[in-house]
Structure 1
Amino acid sequence: MKKTFLTILLIGAESLLLGINAQTDSSAVPRDGISAPREAFLADTIQTSRISAPVLSHGTPRSSFSGEMLRRLSPASAADALGFFPGVRIKDYGGIGGMKTVDVRSLGSGHVGIFIDGQRITNAQNGQVDLGRYSADELESISLNNAQRSGLLMSAEEYASASVVHLRTRKPSFDGKDWNLTARFKAGSWKTFSPSIRAEKRIGKVSLSADASFLRSEGDYTFRINNEYEDTTGRRKGGDISSSRLSLGLWASPFGGDLSLRAAVYKSERGLPGPVIRRLSGLFEPSDRQWDLDRSVQGSFRKSFGTFDLLLNARATADRLDYESEVTGGSSIRNSFSQRTASLSAALSWQPLGWLSGGLSLDNRLSDLNCDVKYFDYVSRVDTRAAATLKIDAGNFALQPSVLFTRVEDFTEGAAKTLVKVSPAVVATWEDGSGIFTARTFWKDIFRVPTFNDLYYTLTGNAAIRPEYATQADIGFDLVSPEGWKHQFRLSADAFLNRVRDKIVAVPVNSQFRWSMMNFGEVRGGGLSLSLTHSCRLAGLSVNSLVTYSFEKATDRSDPGNIGYGGQIPYTPFHSGSAVVTAAKGPWELCLSLLCSGKRYSASDNNRETLLKGWSTVDLNLSRKIVDIGKSRLKGIVSLTNLLCARYEIVRRYPMPGTGASIGISLEM
Structure 2
Amino acid sequence: MFKNFLFTFVIFLSVTTSAFSKVSGADSIHVQDLKEVTVNGQAIKNARASMPIQIITNKEMALLNANNVSDIAKYFSGVTIKDYGGIGGMKTVSLRGMGTQYTGVSYDGVMMSDIQSGQIDLGRFSLDNISEVSLTNGQPNDIFQSARLFSSGGILSLRTKLLDYNKDQSIAGKVVIKAGSFGLLNPSLFLTKNINEKWAFNLSADALTANGQYSFLQYYGSTDNLSEKLTRTNSDVKSLRTEMNWLYRIKEKESITFKTNFFGSERGLPGSVTFYNTYDSQQRLKDRTFFSQIHYENLISDRFQHQYFAKFNISDNHYSDRDPKYSITNGILKDHYLQKEYYLSSSFQYKLFEPMFLSLATDWFYNTLDINSNVNFKNFQYPTRHTGMANLATKYVTERLTLGANLLYTLTREQVQTGNASPNRDKLSPTANLSFKLLENKELRIRAFYKNIYRLPSFNDLYYQDMGNSNLRPENSNQYNIGFTYLDTEIPFLSEFAIMADGYYNRVTDKIIAIPRDMFHWSMTNRDKVNIKGIDISLKASVKVKNSDLLKLKSNYSYQNAKDATQGSDNFGEQIPYTPLHSGSGSLSYEHKKWEVGYNMIFSGIRWIGQTTDKTNKMDGYTIHSIFVSKNYKQWRINAEIIDLFNTQYEVVKFYPMPRRNFRITVAMNLGK
Q: TM-score, normalised by structure 2?
A: 0.92
Question: Does 2:87 match 1:87?
Answer: no
1:104 CA displacement: 0.4
1:26 CA displacement: 6.5
Measure the CA separation in 2 of the matches of 1:255 and 1:4: 54
Classify the secondary structure of the residue corresponding to 2:63. helix
Cα-to-partner distance string for 1:48-94 (whole Å, 9 max, x where unaligned) = xxx569554x1111101013112332511111101111100110011
Alignment partner, residue 658 of structure 1 = 660
> Mind listing any 5+ residue stretches in structure 2 that lack a counterpart?
none
Amino acid at match of 2:126: S
1:392 CA displacement: 2.9
Classify the secondary structure of the residue corresponding to 2:62. helix
Contact 1:33 1:150 in 2 (8 A): no
Classify the secondary structure of the residue corresponding to 1:554. strand
The 3 A distance-change label for structure 1 pair 635 and 38 is farther
Alignment partner, residue 149 of structure 2 = 158
Cα-to-partner distance string for 1:390-436 (whole Å, 9 max, x where unaligned) = 22346622221111000011111321111111111111111123351
Question: Does 2:182 match 1:187?
Answer: no
Measure the CA separation in 2 of the matches of 1:391 and 1:29: 10
Measure the CA separation in 2 of the matches of 1:664 and 1:35: 40
Measure the CA separation in 2 of the matches of 1:52 and 1:32: 13
> Mind listing any 5+ residue stretches in structure 1 that lack a counterpart?
45-50
Alignment partner, residue 317 of structure 1 = 313
Classify the secondary structure of the residue corresponding to 2:4. helix
Alignment partner, residue 117 of structure 1 = 108
1:96 CA displacement: 1.1
Classify the secondary structure of the residue corresponding to 2:7. helix
Contact 1:473 1:498 in 2 (8 A): yes
Alignment partner, residue 368 of structure 1 = 368
1:566 CA displacement: 0.7
Cα-to-partner distance string for 1:576-631 (whole Å, 9 max, x where unaligned) = 11001122111112232110011111112101111111101012221112x41xxx
The 3 A distance-change label for structure 1 pair 307 and 33 is closer
The 3 A distance-change label for structure 1 pair 300 and 53 is closer
Measure the CA separation in 2 of the matches of 1:607 and 1:35: 56
Question: Does 2:217 match 1:209?
Answer: no
Question: Does 2:296 match 1:301?
Answer: yes
Alignment partner, residue 284 of structure 2 = 289
Measure the CA separation in 2 of the matches of 1:40 and 1:525: 36
Amino acid at match of 2:284: R
Alignment partner, residue 566 of structure 1 = 573
Contact 1:278 1:285 in 2 (8 A): no
The 3 A distance-change label for structure 1 pair 313 and 53 is closer
Classify the secondary structure of the residue corresponding to 2:120. coil
Classify the secondary structure of the residue corresponding to 1:137. coil
Cα-to-partner distance string for 1:89-117 (whole Å, 9 max, x where unaligned) = 11001121010000000000000111000
Measure the CA separation in 2 of the matches of 1:232 and 1:501: 43
Measure the CA separation in 2 of the matches of 1:396 and 1:321: 51
1:158 CA displacement: 1.1
**Deviating more after overlay: 378-387 vs 73-82:** 73-82
1:558 CA displacement: 2.2
Classify the secondary structure of the residue corresponding to 1:136. coil
Contact 2:65 2:626 in 1 (8 A): no
Alignment partner, residue 473 of structure 1 = 480
Contact 2:169 2:195 in 1 (8 A): no
Alignment partner, residue 47 of structure 1 = none
Amino acid at match of 1:486: F
Cα-to-partner distance string for 1:223-250 (whole Å, 9 max, x where unaligned) = 1244736554311110000101111112
Alignment of 1:205-604 (within 5 A): 205=197, 206-226=199-219, 228=222, 231-233=226-228, 234-256=230-252, 257-278=254-275, 283-304=278-299, 305-327=301-323, 329=325, 331-372=331-372, 373-393=377-397, 396-412=400-416, 413=418, 414-432=420-438, 433-482=440-489, 485-487=492-494, 488-512=496-520, 514-540=521-547, 541-562=549-570, 564-604=571-611
Measure the CA separation in 1 of the matches of 2:257 and 2:660: 41
Contact 1:71 1:137 in 2 (8 A): no
Amino acid at match of 2:614: N
1:351 CA displacement: 0.9
Measure the CA separation in 1 of the matches of 2:537 and 2:23: 23
Alignment partner, residue 13 of structure 1 = 14
Contact 2:556 2:586 in 1 (8 A): yes
Aligned length in residues: 649
1:544 CA displacement: 1.1
Measure the CA separation in 2 of the matches of 1:245 and 1:112: 23
Contact 2:70 2:92 in 1 (8 A): yes
The 3 A distance-change label for structure 1 pair 222 and 34 is farther
Measure the CA separation in 1 of the matches of 2:33 and 2:272: 42
Cα-to-partner distance string for 1:634-661 (whole Å, 9 max, x where unaligned) = 2211111111111111111111110010
Contact 1:274 1:285 in 2 (8 A): yes
Amino acid at match of 1:546: K
RMSD (Å), alpha carbons: 2.3
Contact 1:174 1:180 in 2 (8 A): no
Contact 2:28 2:45 in 1 (8 A): no
Measure the CA separation in 2 of the matches of 1:455 and 1:296: 25
1:180 CA displacement: 0.7
Contact 2:28 2:141 in 1 (8 A): no
1:5 CA displacement: 2.4
Alignment partner, residue 69 of structure 2 = 78
Contact 1:225 1:655 in 2 (8 A): no
Classify the secondary structure of the residue corresponding to 2:212. coil
Contact 1:126 1:452 in 2 (8 A): yes
Contact 2:647 2:660 in 1 (8 A): yes
Amino acid at match of 2:461: D
Contact 1:225 1:647 in 2 (8 A): no
The 3 A distance-change label for structure 1 pair 353 and 110 is same
1:379 CA displacement: 1.7
Contact 1:277 1:285 in 2 (8 A): no
The 3 A distance-change label for structure 1 pair 143 and 394 is closer
1:500 CA displacement: 0.9
Measure the CA separation in 1 of the matches of 2:643 and 2:57: 21
1:260 CA displacement: 2.1
Once the two structures are aligned, what percentage of the paired residues are identical?
Answer: 26
Cα-to-partner distance string for 1:286-327 (whole Å, 9 max, x where unaligned) = 141100000011122211234011121111111100111345
Classify the secondary structure of the residue corresponding to 2:136. strand
Classify the secondary structure of the residue corresponding to 2:296. strand
Measure the CA separation in 2 of the matches of 1:34 and 1:286: 56
Contact 1:342 1:367 in 2 (8 A): yes
Q: Select which of 122, 130, 134 maps to 1:143.
A: 134
